[in-house]
Structure 1
C-alpha cells in the first residue's frame, strides 16, 4: 500500500488526466505536476503511471500516452484529496530547507528554475538571457545549459530542445533561514518600472492562498514586458516580497551584502520597515525585502514568441554546476 504522500501524487495524476481532453505523456504530466506544487521528474512520473496501470486506473493510448479508465474515474471521484490551496507555500518551505548555500564561501546548493525551449531558438534565447542578466533583472549571472539528450535534474531534455537552469530567488530565503532568521515569502507579482526606476507592484498574488505558483500565472498570461523595460526603461517585471522580523534587519542585511559580493544581484530593496512597501502591505513588526524573480529571463523568452516550458522552483542544484555567462 503506497504511503500517504505517494497516494496524493497518484490521485493528482488521475486528476490531471481527467481534466485533459487528450492522452498525456510523462513529460506533460510532470510539467503540470510541477505547476501544482509537486516536484516530480519524468522518470518519477513514469514510475507512478506504472502503479496506476497495474491498478487499472490508467491505460496506454497512443505513443507513450495515458488516458483515464472508468475505474480510474471512479477512484478519483471517491478519493479524499486535500485541497491544494496553500500547497505552493509548503513546497517553498521544503526547498528552503534543502538550500545549503553559504554566501561567505560561495558554496552549496541553491534553488533553481528550469526552462525548455526549441533548439532552433537557442542563439536568440542566449542573447536575451544575457541582456536580462546585464540589466540586473535576474538573480545571478550563473546558469546551466543542457542540450537535447542530456539530463537536467533527473529530466531528459527532449529531442529538438534545450534546457536552461537559472538561480531562483528562494535561495535568499534559504540562506536567511540557515542563519536563524525567520522569513515568509508573501507575494509574487508584476513590479512596475518607469524610466529605469522601480515604482510599485501593479498585480500581486499571495503565496499562501494559491494552488499555482504566481510566476506561472503571470508568465502564462503574458503579463510581463521584460524586454521593453530593458529597451525603454519602462514596463513590468516579475518580483517577490518576503517579510522578516525587524529585529533581524542588521543580520539579514549583512547576509545580503555577502550574497551581492558573490554576484547574487536581484534584491530590489534593502530591509524596509515601510508599510506599504511598493504598494503591498507589510505586517506590523516586520520589514519587507523585494527581490526580482529568477523567472524574468524565461518570461523575456515568451515575450519574443519563443515557446517555453517553465518549471518554477524545480529543485536545488550545486552552485558549482552553474556557470557564469560571459
Structure 2
C-alpha cells in the first residue's frame, strides 16, 4: 500500500480485507458497518473517499450500482499486507485512554474513558429498554449512560449513547500506584446467578480485533437468558495486578461502588478457568458492552466505538 499516512493505509487495508472476504460487491454503507465492527468508525462519505483512492491505484473496481470488488492487483495487495500491523492496536488505544482518565472515586469528579454507540432514532426506545434492563441486573460497568446528538461522529437520523468504558478503572489504579494489565476479554458462564467459569478468552495483546465486539457479533453471549433465568453467558474483562496490591484495589473498588460502579464480579488467582500467573491476582469486571450485547440480541442494529475518548463524569451523570 503506497500511502504516506499510516492511518489512511490502515483503513485502506481494512477495506481491502473486507472486500476480499465478500463474495458480492459491497457499497460504502455496508463497508462502513463492517469497518465499525473492527473498530474503524467512518461515515459512508469517508468510506467513499477511500474507495475512490483504491480505484485510482487499481486495487478496486466499481460494478455498476452494486458496489466494489477487488481487482487481481487488490487481491495481491491484501494478501501481502501484514496482519501484524494491527496486532496490539486495540490495547494500545485503551491504555492511552487509561492514562488520560482522571476520575477520582472519592469525590466522583474528573474524566472517564467512554464508549460511543450509534443508534437509529427509530430504535432508540428499544435500546434504552435493553440498556436499562442490563443496568438493573448489575451486568454493566456503570449504573447510567448519556445521550448525544451533537457529536460530529454521529450519523444523520441517529443518536449517540455514551457509556463509561471499564478502562477507566485501569487509570484509577495507575494513579494510585497499582500496576495493572488488561489481560483478556471473555465470555463468563453463570449458574444460578453465580459466575461459574469462562467459556472463551481472547488476550488483548495478541489480537487485531476487540474481543468483546467479536463475541457479540458471533452471538456468543446470552445476556437476556441470564436476566430471565440467572443462567447464561455475559461479557467480562480480566485484569491482572500484583497479589500484594489486592487490598488497595479492593478499597478503591469499594469507593467506586458508592458512586454507581458495578464491580468486581470476582477477584482471585487462577479462578473461573483463568490461566494462573505467579504472584498475580485477577480482577474480573462485567463490561459495559453487555448493554450493547443485549441490544444486539434483541435484533437492534448498533455500532459502537470502544474507547471513543474521555469526558467529565458529570456529562454522563447529567444524561
Query: Taking structure 1 as the reference length, what is the TM-score of the superposition?
Result: 0.81
Q: 1:200 to 1:324 in 2, by over 3 A?
A: farther
Where does residue 283 of structure 1 map in the other structure?
Answer: 277
* Alignment gaps of 5+ in structure 1: none
Contact (CA 8 Å) 1:195, 1:233: kept in 2 or not?
yes
Deviations 1:130-186 (A, max 9, x none): 12111211111231224xxx454x423343x44433222222122223333221111
CA shift, 1:268, in A, is 1.4
Report the counterpart of residue 293 of structure 1 in structure 2. 287
Q: How far, CA to CA, are the matches of 2:150 and 2:209 in structure 1? A: 25
Q: Which residue of 1 aligns with 2:17?
A: 15
Counterparts of 1:1-326 in structure 2, within 5 Å, are 2-26=4-28, 28-36=30-38, 38-42=39-43, 45=47, 48-49=50-51, 51-53=53-55, 55-58=57-60, 66-69=68-71, 71-77=73-79, 79-80=81-82, 82=84, 84-146=86-148, 150-152=149-151, 154-159=152-157, 161-269=158-266, 272=267, 274-304=268-298, 306-311=299-304, 313-318=306-311, 319-323=313-317
The structure-2 alpha-carbon separation of the partners of 1:202 and 1:24, relative to structure 1 and needing over 3 Å to count, comes to same
Q: Deviations over 1:241-262 (max 9, x none)?
A: 1101123223323322232222
Q: Is the 8 A contact 1:190 1:202 kept in 2?
A: yes
* Contact persistence 2:11–2:40 (CA under 8 A): no
Rounded Cα–Cα distance in structure 2 between residues aligned with 1:289 and 1:72: 44
Find the aligned partners of 1:294 and 1:75 in 2 and give their Cα distance.
37
Q: CA deviation at 1:301?
A: 1.7
After TM superposition, the score normalised by the length of structure 2 is 0.82
Judge conservation of contact 2:18–2:31 (CA < 8 Å) in 1. Answer: yes
Mapped partners of 1:238, 1:190: distance in 2: 5
Change in 2 beyond 3 A, CA 1:4/1:275:
same
1:292, CA displacement in angstroms? 0.2
The alpha carbon displacement at 1:288 in A equals 0.9
Number of equivalent positions: 315
The change in CA–CA distance for 1:309 and 1:62 in structure 2 (over 3 A counts) is farther
- Any idea what SS the aligned residue of 1:242 has? strand
Q: 1:40: Cα distance to partner?
A: 4.1
Within 1, Cα distance between the matches of 2:216 and 2:294?
9
> Structure 1 residues 33 and 177, CA, compared in 2 at 3 Å: closer, same or farther?
farther
- Change in Cα spacing, 1:228 to 1:81, as seen in structure 2 (3 Å) is closer
Residues 235, 23 of structure 1: alpha-carbon distance in 2 compared, 3 angstrom cutoff: same
Q: Any gaps of 5 or more consecutive residues in structure 2? A: none
